[in-house]
Amino acid sequence: MSPINNLSNTANGAASTAEGNSGATAFKVESPNVRYTDDSIESSYSYDTTIVSRDASSGQLKAKPTQVQYQFRTKTHVGRVGLMMVGWGGNNGSTLTASILANKKGISWETRKGTQTANYFGSLMMASTVKLGVDEQLKDVYVPFNQVVPMVHPNDVVIGGWDINSANIGDAMRRAQVLPVDLQRRVYDDLAQLKPLPSVYYPDFIAANQEERADNLIGGTKQEQLDHLRQDIRNFKQANGLDRVIIMWTANTERYADLLAGVNDTADNLLQAIADGHEEVSPSTLFAVASILEGAPFVNGSPQNTLVPGVIDLAERERSFVGGDDFKSGQTKIKSVLAEFLVNAGIKPLAITSYNHLGNNDGHNLSAPAQFRSKEISKSSVVDDMVGANNLLYKKGEHPDHTIVIKYVPSVGDSKRALDEYVSEIFMGGLNTISIYNTCEDSLLASPLIIDLFMMTELMTRVSYRTANDADWMPFHSVLSILSYMLKAPVVPPNTPVVNALAKQRMAMENILRAFVGLAPNNEMLLEHKAFH
């Protein structure tokens, strides 16, 4: 298969970028609790937490420090990895493909302000650092996030996917009108060779205004479509010599599927519903099921309830990974930061009002009420855990007024406008109002999230753990809550609390990676300065 530098027509329209790699880290841990082998890093790790109970007679809380011993094993050989996007020809899919190509080939282009070179800004994994520790002078030492443990590099991914529209990826990129024209010219010829596979289209699940785009479809019954998708994944993996494939939903927002007993509540019922062609099995759920049955992790980047209980049940049964929902790119990310700040400062948000207008195809699809409702749900739940954490500000059942408006304005294109107003109660019944207006290039914020989700999901396929009570190594739970930083409405394992506060989500991701190499969690107590002085 030809590399991306010299693309040719390849099986399933895939863009190839590398022959695989073994990963790299920026450091080596010197500790008796860490062992490096030819193909893995193994660590022994003490996890400290606090179990709280309440005395039945006095009502007093009792806090009991608890320690659990874990062992983690991370395979270091990354191998050859593929990314298949559903909605490859959309704004996000075409932008990401063009951008990875530009980074791989070291492309630069002219702008009004001069020469611009390709980069991975906006990607947590590729453009941020984590604190490793302190040096002999007690100064902080930082390393790239992607070098704490071996990770796949986006330049090394093989890209393919499906789309309901038949446009090649070069034409899709031009249609999206996201990237500068000079950059488009430089990558068009390579991208024009890439064509998406036919996809699944159920008119009831996306807006009627998308019908004219739907000219690249898989026919047959839902069962036949499921079988077709599974074969697509197998063909892509085999044709490109891949060790593993990650599937990402980057397509249109669907309406919510009704949760029905006997239909999508268990794995067996869901599989039977597909066989019966039940109307409440959505396209995204069909892709999730196909991915799970083929052992390919599936991540839902849109707000609909793709991961119905039957999907999660099937993923647990097949020991496959799923994650979702909805890329957390701009406004919601700010909201998760600001709401956490206000509540943690003892300030009580009373009303959060969010207004958006955008002109890309996502906005066009969201102009339909059922699809907007899916987005409204994912955006509105982002403050729930922060409110629930403070019973001094909020009594039981109390919650800020939270209003979300999205309007389609074609002339705005991909340059989304967002206006947020936060009205909060402060000291002695006073009021404080914070208004934020931002213009964000929607797809240039969302595309790096696909990179982060892909890289973290791929890593988790190589990690296993065990406790003192376990004889065998086990994978993490099928629902990857570690992806929460990148998702508006993170799906978490059953009976697990949702964490939406952005700083907590990043801290969890950073410290789990540190645990994989036997390092204690980062904190800002600065006790080393007191101890050494």
Active-site positions read 326, 375, 416, 488
Task: Compute CA 158 distance to the chain's CA centroid, rounded to the nearest angstrom.
Answer: 18
210-237 burial code (b ≥16 CB/10 A, e <16): beebeebebeeebeebbbbbbebbeebb
> Whole-angstrom Cα distance, residue 92 to residue 397?
38
Residue 41 and residue 516 in contact, taking contact as beta carbons nearer than 8 Å: yes
The CA-atom distances, in angstroms, between 423 and each of 41, 211, 376, 437 are 49, 41, 20, 15
d(CA 207, CA 371): 7
Helix (H) or strand (E) holding 468: none
How far apart CA 140 and CA 133 sit, in angstroms, is 6
First-last CA distance in the chain: 60
Long-range contacts of 391-394 (CB under 8 A, 24+ apart): 392/346, 393/343, 393/346, 393/348, 394/348
Measured CA to CA in angstroms, residue 137 lies from 74, 205, 410, 523, 528 at distances of 32, 59, 56, 18, 11
> Distance between CA 6 and CA 135 in Å, rounded?
45
Q: What are the tokens at 324?
A: 């979702």
Distance CA 95, CA 296 (A): 23
State which amino acid sits at residue 456. M
- DSSP assignment letter at 213: G
DSSP letter string, 360-383: SHHHHHHTSHHHHHHHHHHHHGGG
How big is the chain by its Cα radius of gyration, in Å?
A: 24
- 489: nearest Cα among 361, 299, 357: 299
The structure tokens listed for 241 are: 């010599």
Q: Which residues lie below 8 Å from residue 533, measured CB to CB, with a gap of 6+?
A: none
* Helix and strand counts by DSSP (H, E) for the chain: 15, 17
Answer for the pair 284, 332: CB distance below 8 angstroms, yes or no: no
d(CA 178, CA 161): 20
Q: Is 22 exposed, middle or buried (0-12, 13-18, 19+ CB in 10 A)?
A: exposed
Which of 148, 278, 170, 291 has its CA nearest to residue 231? 291
